[in-house]
Amino acid sequence: MTENVVNPEAEATQAAQDEMPFAIVHGERISVPPQDLYIPPDALEVFLDAFEGPLDLLLYLIKRQNLDILTLPVLKITQQYTDYISLMENMRLELAAEYLVMAAMLAEIKSRMLLPRPVEDSDEEDPRAQLIRRLQEYERYKKAAEDVDNLPRSERDFEEISIHEVEIVSEEKLPVVEMKDLAFALQEVLRRADMQIAHSVKRETLSIRERMTEVLSRLSVDEFVEFVSLFSVEEGRAGVIVSFIAILELLKSQVIEIVQSDIYAPIYVKPAISQLDEGAEHGQ
Amino acid sequence: MDNEQQKKIIEATLMSASQTLNVDQLLKLFVNEVSEVTRDEIKAIVQTLQEECSGRGYELKKVASGFRYQTREEMQPWVDKLRPERAPRYSRAFMETLALVVYKQPITRAEIEDVRGVAVSSSIFKVLLEREWVKIIGHREVPGRPAMYGTTRKLLDYFNLSSLNELPDLVEIKDIDDIASELILVANEEIPEQQQLESMDPPAGETQH
Amino acid sequence: MDNEQQKKIIEATLMSASQTLNVDQLLKLFVNEVSEVTRDEIKAIVQTLQEECSGRGYELKKVASGFRYQTREEMQPWVDKLRPERAPRYSRAFMETLALVVYKQPITRAEIEDVRGVAVSSSIFKVLLEREWVKIIGHREVPGRPAMYGTTRKLLDYFNLSSLNELPDLVEIKDIDDIASELILVANEEIPEQQQLESMDPPAGETQH
């Protein structure tokens, strides 16, 4: 609800609670809108928002009558109600429709009360009773809405506490990589490479690749490694062959160099670094 | 890990949580720990923590979806002084619609409009659904299969309730009741007694005096 | 208003504040009140509150911009257990680079770029080296002497492998389904729990080495 609604609503409530601020003679027919209900036409729209619908308006009117529904109930209410909506009609047609339905119902009730009751109609419920039940039900939920509104409410009546969390750097937040991811990544990149050009991706066993890394790792620690020490007999024939192929591969790609100072002297393996340096030094 | 340590862990967790936590969630704090913690132990610790809030500016409250620390209501006027923004206000139409969903769930929009005597704007349902206070819990098997609405735990949490039972009872509107009975008296003079009584009986079960 | 009440107000305010509050801000809680509160009184109350946190799971901390309640650092690993962790993920470029180092080592950056067809950002190598999954194992003796990368013992440990040989031989396999099934076999045998494929049932005691 907008801000400008608050005042009329408060006034309406105020009026409803007051003991009829303007004297209305018991049973008197009312031909003009009640004083406290009269609104200048330009303020009507605002006032309308104070009511939640035809039932709400009707409830208000009944309360204003100090619940004197018994002696001249429907007639008087109907009168006021129709007076009220005739004002409203000019202003807010779309809203007025709902109120008009109620007016029609009130008019029907009024007419029935006036007409002699035919005997065969006796099965029918008193239309007043039906209306009162509707009003009763509406008022009950109107009250419930107020009760719910009065409940302690987060933000308005209390605050949920969520204190600051200290941040600690934890290593566990590193991304997790699954072997599956790794394999798919390779598959994908090779597929792309195949499509690009006839980039030859030869089948190479990982054991040789791994051994190449091992050999290079050792060479990065010790500059000179004895050739024989790169083989371990425990690995058996296959292992020795893998090591040998790995060394040949490294030689082929000029990553390592093999030196032997003399015939039958120990063969050494060293990184190919110095080779390039020497070449540069000697002009070739 | 001793009981004191467990209590501190639960306290820090509930204090820093941005939502309510229930016993099952708190149990997860201690899975795979050497010393197993039982549900009953968690409950006992939470109760101790609740007792320790006595005389403080906050409390450890049990609401529908679990436990949470919150400021005490009587502190709110003070706490509000430092807050520039106001808590949202809801219109009467909004609250009436909400009340009908709360008290008459499952309920369709048409049924709500029937009681209120006026159309309910779509924006009200939009807000109710967006705030997750209300959800569609099924469809009524009538033409058009209209959605039936019900309330959520989140709504109870927001209104500081642990169950719908804690809601205020639907009141019997006395004055109209009186009107009704008086109307019967008057009507009885006009039309045969028994039909009046039938039609005027309040719906069973809802009467409370 | 007694001191106890002032303390509760400050406590509730600090507890529910979404940011730190300093003494000046806390003073505003009590402006226009009958009993004036001084800065020194505020400070004394805050100090009392700080002392009352001793032995609890949280503390009232003074930071640059003021005071705030926060979890104790030693509680945080526990508190974190309930936080739904969104597992960070590595980019495709990262994974492909890693895969090439694994399967084609020793390999230079230029060779990786050659196969991938795009440049590899330095940050990828930085992370690979920081995680100690990859190391420089030498330099290729070509102009520029580019570093050659190989995998480490740590990477094997991470995948729970004793040798690269235990990785599926993928180069020739073109059918992705074959890879997948082969991987599941490997994974079932080798991968520790947290790295298991989601799609897979836990190995029912059939682990073999």
Is the CB of C25 less than 8 angstroms away from the CB of B72? no
List the one residue out of A189, A201, A174 whose CA is nearest residue C95. Answer: A189
Q: Inform me whether the pLDDT recorded for A198 exceeds 50.
A: no
Percent of chain A with pLDDT over 90: 0
CB-based contact A181 C164, cutoff 8 Å? no
According to the model, what pLDDT value does residue C36 have? 79
- What is the Cα–Cα distance from A226 to A263, expressed in whole angstroms? 15
| CB-CB under 8 Å, C16 with A161 | yes
CB neighbour list of residue B96: distance below 8 Å, 6 or more residues apart: A52, A141, A142, A145, B116
Separation of alpha carbons A169 and B54, rounded Å: 35
Q: How far apart are the first and last CA of chain A?
A: 91
pLDDT confidence bin for A268, thresholds 50/70/90: confident
pLDDT for residue B39: 92
The Cβ of residue A139 has, within 10 Å, a number of other Cβ atoms equal to: 20
Amino acid at A72: L
With cut-offs at 50, 70 and 90, classify the pLDDT of residue B209.
Answer: very low
The answer to whether ipTM exceeds 0.85 is no
**Rounded average pLDDT over C93-109:** 87
User: Once rounded to an integer, what is the mean pLDDT over residues A84-97?
Assistant: 63
Summarised one tens digit per residue, pLDDT across range A110-159 is 676 666 666 555 556 666 777 777 888 888 888 888 888 888 888 888 88
DSSP letter string, C169-202: --SS---HHHHHHHHHHHHHHH--GGG--TTSPP
Q: How far is CA B53 from the centre of its chain?
A: 24
Per-residue pLDDT tens over the stretch B52-75 = 999 899 999 999 999 999 999 999
The per-residue DSSP string of A61-86 comes to HHHHTTT-TTTSHHHHHHHHHHHHHH
Q: Which residue has the higher pLDDT, A37 or A60?
A: A60
The C-alpha atoms of residue B76 and residue B2 are separated, in whole angstroms, by 36
Answer yes or no: do B192 and A146 touch at CB < 8 A: no
Partners of residue A170 in chain C, C-beta under 8 Å: 77, 80
- Whether residue C8 has pLDDT greater than 90: yes
Backbone φ and ψ of B53, nearest 5°: -80, -10
DSSP annotation of C205: S
**For A211-227, what is each residue's pLDDT tens digit?**
888 888 888 777 788 88
More confident residue, A275 or A162: A162
Through-space distance between the first and last CA atoms of chain B, rounded to whole angstroms: 55
Q: Answer whether residue B37 shows pLDDT above 60.
A: yes
Query: Testing the interface with A: which of B13, B176, B196, B198 to mutate, by most A Cβ within 10 A?
Result: B176
Residue B60: strand pairing partners: B69
Which residue among A163, A175, A272 sits closest to C90, beta carbon to beta carbon?
A175
Give C40→chain A minimum CA distance, Å: 25
Residue in C closest to A206 by C-alpha: C165
Q: Which residues pair with C138 in a beta bridge?
A: C148
Give the residue-averaged pLDDT of C173-186. Answer: 46
Report the 10 Å Cβ neighbour count for A48. 20
Torsion region of B55: left, alpha or beta (phi above 0 gives left; psi -120 to 50 gives alpha): left
Which residues fall within 8 angstroms of residue C203, CB to CB, at 6 or more apart?
Answer: C188, C189
pLDDT at A175 > cutoff 80:
no
What is the rounded distance in angstroms from the CA atom of residue A66 to the CA atom of residue B178? 12
Highest averaged pLDDT of the listed ranges A46-55, A247-256, B178-187, C40-49: C40-49
> Which residues of chain C lie closer than 8 angstroms to A184, CB-CB?
95, 176, 179
pLDDT at residue B97 greater than cutoff 80: yes
Per-residue pLDDT reduced to its tens digit, C154-175: 888 887 777 777 776 655 444 4
Cβ-defined contact of B91 to A1 (cutoff 8 Å): yes
Q: Do B29 and C72 touch (CB under 8 A)?
A: no
Give the pLDDT score at A205: 61
Q: Do C150 and A213 touch (CB under 8 A)?
A: yes
Closest chain A residue to the Cα of C199, Cα to Cα:
A180
Residue C11 has pLDDT above 60, yes or no: yes
Smallest CA–CA distance from B70 into chain C, residue: C16
Query: What one-character DSSP code corresponds to residue B32?
Result: T
Please name the helix (run of DSSP H) or strand (run of DSSP E) that holds residue A259, with its range, or none: strand A256-260
Q: Are C93 and A185 in contact (CB under 8 A)?
A: no
Instruction: List the subunits that have 3+ CB pairs under 8 angstroms with C.
Output: A, B
Question: Does the distance separating the beta carbons of A162 and B15 come in below 8 Å?
Answer: yes
Q: End-to-end distance of chain C based on CA atoms, in angstroms?
A: 74
Report the candidate in A227, A224, A214 with the shortest Cα–Cα distance to residue A270. Answer: A224
Q: Nearest CA of chain B to the CA of A40: how many Å?
A: 24
- The per-residue pLDDT for range B141-152, each reduced to its tens digit, is 999 999 999 999
